[in-house]
Amino acid sequence: MSIQQLREAIQSFIRPDTFPVGIKIVKSQSELPAKAKRPSQDLGYLITICQAVSFSRRYGWTIAMNGDDLSCPIAQVAFGYEEQLPFYSEGHLACGMYTDSLEAGAKSEQDVPKLSREESGYYVSFPLERAPFDPDVVVIYGNSAQVMRLVAGMLYKRGGSIPSTFSSRADCADIAIKPLQTGEPQVIVPCYGDRLFAQTQDHEMAFSFHFRDAAELVEGLEGTNRGGIRYPIPTYLRYQAEFPPTYQKLASMFPGAVSEASAGEEQVSQVSKLVQTEGKE
């Protein structure tokens, strides 16, 4: 499955408001795309991982970063740039803000997916529109109906359901690391930082998946489209509207008008005749 085929399918069947984003962990600086922006050098300040994704999906920029470009201490640990110091692993960052105890905070930090230092590298995000290479993971932001549509597409061949986890923080790890480690797609509820720092809106969710599953997703989007599962979601319109009494009174004054009661009696009469006819046959 080529990136262009995936991009065209997403545009055709999902129609997201922002660019679908590719994410890749690149091991050496020599492999970085020539036009990639390094936040510390090209922007003049450090950014979060979620900001990198937002730059890619909203601006169309390719961002390449490692620990030298990263402002978020949780992501420094999650993406293998810094060790898990006791202050972190004991739950101090979560306690008092997300949890009521150090024990609960430690459990929350333990649950964040993490890359080892050996697995780590430059985090590169880019719009599929201008992909410099095949991504490891693809993430698509959209509304709940668009994400539902992606879930339906991914389950077309598999059936069943998609297991995802939700924690309200560190969604950057759920987006990129969890699909790499589990091989499974993820439904993402954007975390607090994604909303605060990356300007993700209240109506947005996300869906991320391993790029190797792209062909399966596209086949599923095509198949479910044929089956009638589409976006925008069709609205049911096959009914007769009801109007206020004054509107109905005016309608009854028109030449040849039939009152609602008469229309109802006529429908009952027609059904009755139909039943009687079928009974004789």
**Which H or E run includes 265?**
helix 260-280
Q: What is the pLDDT of residues 90-111, one digit of tens each?
A: 999 999 999 999 999 999 999 9
CA distance 148 to 207: 9
Provide the whole-model pTM.
0.87
Count CB-CB contacts under 10 A for residue 150. Answer: 27
Q: What is the pLDDT of residues 28-38, one digit of tens each?
A: 999 999 999 99
Residue reference for tokens 């984003």: 21
Sheet arrangement for strand 21-26: 63-65, 122-127, 21-26, 137-142, 205-210, 186-188
Residue spans per domain, the chain: 3-226, 245-280
Count CB-CB contacts under 10 A for residue 4. Answer: 11
Question: How confident is the model over 115-119, as a mean pLDDT?
Answer: 96
Spell out the residues 6+ positions from residue 113 whose beta carbon is closer than 8 angstroms to its own.
Answer: 78, 173, 174, 177, 178, 181
**pLDDT higher than threshold 80 for residue 155:** yes
